[in-house]
Structure 1
Amino acid sequence: MKLRTKKRTGALMLALLLAVLAGCGSGNNSNTSNAENSGSATNAPAATTDSAKKVTLTMMVSGTKAPDGQDFALDIMPKLVKEKFPNVTLETSKLPDEQYFTSIRTKLASGKGPDIYWVFPRNASLGVLDMAKAGYAADLSDLTFWDNISQGAKDDMSYEGKPYGIAGGLDYLGVYYNQDLFKQAGVIEMPKDWTSFLEACQKLKDAGITPISLADKDPWFLQFGMYQIAANEVYPDEMDFDTKLQAGEKSLTDPKWVATISKMKELYDKGYVVKNSLGLGSAQAAQLFVDGKAAMVFDGTWDYATLTAKGAANFTRGFFSLPANDSGQPTYVSAATAAGFALNAKSENLDIAKEVMNYLFDGQSDLFKAWTEANSSISVYKGVPLNHDLFKEVNDSYLNNGKSVYFPNQMWPTGVAEEMEAKFAEIIGGRKTTPEQVTEAMDAKFKELWKN
């Protein structure tokens, strides 16, 4: 009986204590939301209510500034964020890719990284997997718009099942070309395979026209052609090649990779690439194209603004997938989830940065509309139509045929693509480096760096 009495007494005292605490919490406490009191709280970041508190968010991205001065990251986004959140100032910077990679790594490692920064899919250089593992990227699971993002794009920006980046869209690698120069050289039918592509290049060369402008001073530019060739040489009959590579079942010395390097080399050997390409940066290579001094340039959808800018010549542009396939075989599109936004896990303003992302991707705000208009990547946000007709043919092929391959470096550790670039630069520079030696160097670097 005593034990039962003690239990009842203890229960009564606990009830009285809870009643007192409830009474203390029932006043006008400005730190407690109505959602919490009603039991309807969500995982979404709380809204900013203290408009008197001035906050400065920093953002760093990579790329080339829009020619007309209406750059989304530098001009439009800061203005619209200020209109929505008067207490928030968004300070942004934009660097060329190589400078960005170096700068952002240094800043994040020193604990002085920006609140918002540009991150790449999977294992790519500055890939979301590395950023999440290192603790530099915040878990974004509690953002409110994920149901409107394609699952593939979300998966490519996730680590251990949680999203750590927001994809900017879907990107295609392809060939921007000058339709007027093609006609001038007698290239009437678009090339459908590697043989007919080489024939088109030869016609252009014979007509005194530089067939291809490439920016080999910027090593990463090599990827824009190489990955399109690989999409048609390496992967069509073995889409799980890189999974096998990671498991130790395949090697980058595979004959299909040797053939890929060899085809890229062929373009230089036959004089189809602009002379002294090792001295040309990306801006210079693009200028040759927009000025009508080269018929083609290998690049991605992300450089739409640069490659459609007004130059010294007026001409009609086109865009097609590099047909590195054999005759009678389909051309595979080189397509992959685009780079996008990550939030610094160590940011003191993480909640506010999340609010900005929710506003950016809410599907209806002025900021969202400006983003979809400025974004040259193919949208992965449901319901957003293609905004550049230049990419319609390739986009239709991607959607209707289902024959596409991701960018290989998204499945490699950082350093492998860079090794490919360095060794191939030896070929461009006239050294006797062979395609086999390029693949051997790539494979050795992969085995050195792969730790899974």
Structure 2
Amino acid sequence: MKRSLVLIATAVLVAGCGSSGGGGTATSGSSQGAAPAKVTLEWWHLSTAEPLKTLWAQRAKEFMAQNPNVTIKATVLENDAYKAKLTTITQSGKAPDIFATWGGGVLKQQIDAGLVKDLTGEVGDVLPTFTTASLAAYQFDGKTYGLPTDIGMVGFWYNKKLFSKAGITQPPATWAEFLDDVKKLKSAGVTPIALAGKEKWPGHYYWAYLAMRIAGLDALKKAAVDKNFNTPDFIAAGQQVKALADLQPFQKGFLGASYSTPDGQSATVSNGKAAMELMGQWAPAVQKDSGKGLGDDLGFFPFPTVEGGKGSATDVFGGGGGLAVGADAPKEALQFVKFMTEMGNHSKAVEAGGVLPVLKGEESAVKDPNLKQVATALAGATGFQLYLDQAYPPAVGQQVNDSVAELIGGSKTPEQVVQAVTEVAKSEE
């Protein structure tokens, strides 16, 4: 596959592919027998932690070595800075040549604005190699606008030693048990949960998962269509978030805490200063990068069920990551995306624990026992919900993040949360 990609790239370039719009730049060679046109690709991503930080840089070097006319300029930013910068450039009517995306409603808005290349006609040869679930967030109306690099789910990553100190012998299976365990941890002098209150998106995971467990997946999809979140079940989800917040389970200063900084959510868990965090499949890598790491003391459990709820315990919430191509990017941009997602290249990232399988047959490359548990849960999932701040249009997703942060902080009621989100949803009509 790698050799054929190089041949394709060479053929395209010799045929005179030089012009590049958007962020990519190209310098055309002279006439017959000229060297391939020089191309600079702007690649934006947010893999600031190891192992992906180094692995992605290595892939870029390898691609440039095989394609000497191509220069890849990487812009690597942490989550919030990345979202802000990407929003700014897309609102100006431009997009990077290659950029990380979570898919969903945010990507759809960029597509509707004419900023993202339709890859359908050029990825038909590789689409069958991907799992159906991993592709879903990047496909609309039968067309493909990105290729996945990761897929996963949000769940609780916990410190086994601290759970044991509090007398907790097994992870909670129900929300009532979870709240009891929070009380046990506090009684044992252990901070139960670390939260990046400043960044808001980690907090929305609680409301989203509780809405899934109480109202069910269909209710989340119906709300997206009806533009109405003002229902008893969504209010009940907020009431349970409030019940948790009322226990004061988070670390001191959580409202000003970031996620991946040395004093943020991830490091607080990694350094043994809090018992757990609700986070995606990247949590172990970021914990190692931002703190000491828990080693064998790190465990994982899925989000608990809620008694009487309409949602299934095997419905999962999360998402992955993918790469999209700017509408005006040169052809080499898509060639790099395909290079990144070849089995031989992508499975190295899986083996290193940086991502989970998106290609059929990659499952055996997962080595970490906790990530194997995540992969198994995904394989048996009965339903899947993308992060709400990505699944819904950007303004709606942002309002979810903002309102839930205010609920956790005590300045909004559960009723006010659903009213605010509904108002923004209806204004998007």
Name the TM-score class by shorter chain. 0.7 to 0.9
2:20 counterpart residue number? none
Using the TM superposition, give the Cα deviation of residue 375 of structure 1 relative to its aligned residue in structure 2, in angstroms: 6.2
- CA RMSD, aligned part only? 2.7
Structure 2 counterpart of 1:273:
250
CA distance, structure 2, for counterparts of residue 181 and residue 246 of structure 1: 39
What TM-score, normalized to structure 2?
0.83
Corresponding residue number in structure 2 for 1:193: 174
List per-residue Cα deviations over 1:109-133 (Å, max 9, x = no partner): 445532111122221xxx2211211
Correspondence for 2:138: 157
Query: Does residue 1:423 correspond to 2:403, yes or no?
Result: yes
Whole-angstrom distance in 1 between the partners of 2:142 and 2:53: 36
Contact 1:47–1:355 (CA<8 Å) still a contact in 2? no
Matched-pair contact (CA < 8 Å) for 1:228–1:333: no
Which of 354, 371, 375 is residue 395 of structure 1 equivalent to?
375
Q: How do residues 146-295 of structure 1 correspond to structure 2 at under 5 angstroms?
A: 146-235=127-216, 239-248=217-226, 251-283=228-260, 284-295=264-275
Question: What is the DSSP-based 3-state SS (H/G/I as helix, E as strand, rest coil) of the residue aligned with 1:176?
Answer: strand
The change in CA–CA distance for 1:101 and 1:261 in structure 2 (over 3 A counts) is same
- Name 1:5's counterpart in structure 2: none
Please tell me whether the aligned partners of residues 58 and 116 of structure 1 are also in contact (alpha carbons under 8 angstroms): yes
Change (3 A) 1:154 1:70: closer
Q: SS at 2:103's partner residue?
A: coil
For 1:55-70, list aligned pairs within 5 A.
Answer: 55-63=39-47, 65-67=48-50, 70=53
Letter in 1 for 2:417: V
Offset at 1:447? 0.9
State which of 377, 380, 391 in structure 1 corresponds to 2:358.
Answer: 380
2:55 counterpart of 1:72: yes
1:107 paired to 2:89: yes
Q: Which secondary structure does the structure 2 equivalent of 1:212 belong to?
A: coil
Distance, in Å, in 1 between the alignment partners of 2:326 and 2:255 is 36
| Maintained 8 Å contact 1:336/1:407 | yes
| Residue 115 of structure 2 is aligned to residue 133 of structure 1 | no
On the 8 A contact 2:41/2:71 being kept in 1, the answer is yes
In 2, the alpha carbon distance for the partners of 1:224 and 1:51 equals 51
Residues 1:136 and 1:45: Cα distance change in structure 2 (over 3 Å): farther
Tell me, yes or no, if the aligned pair for 2:51 and 2:354 is still in contact at 8 Å.
no
Moved over 6 A (4+): none
For residue 176 of structure 2, what is the amino acid of its counterpart? T
Distance in 2 between residues matched to 1:224 and 1:146, nearest whole Å: 30
**Structure 2: segments with no counterpart, 5+ residues:** 1-7, 15-33
1:163 and 1:149 mapped to 2: Cα distance? 12
Q: Deviations over 1:401-433 (max 9, x none)?
A: 6255443444422122322332333334343x3
Tell me, which stretches of 5 or more residues in structure 1 are unaligned? 1-42
CA–CA separation in structure 1 for the residues paired with 2:35 and 2:352: 29
Is 1:341 paired with 2:319? no
Shifted more, 174-183 versus 309-318: the winner is 309-318
Structure 1 residue 363: Cα displacement: 2.3
TM-score, L = length of structure 1: 0.79
Deviation at 1:213, TM superposition (A): 0.3
SS of residue matched to 1:204: helix
Q: Distance in 1 between matches of 2:35 and 2:204?
A: 47
Q: Matched residues in 2 for 1:271 and 1:227: separation?
A: 20
Residues 197-206 or 304-313, more deviating: 304-313
How far has the Cα of 1:62 moved from its partner?
2.3
The count of residues paired between Structure 1 and Structure 2 equals 394
Structure index of larger Rg: 1
Task: Report the CA distance shift for 1:374/1:79 in structure 2 as closer, same or farther (over 3 A).
Answer: farther
Percent identical = 26
- Cα deviation code 1:32-72 (max 9, x no counterpart): xxxxxxxxxxx999544475533221100124x12579533
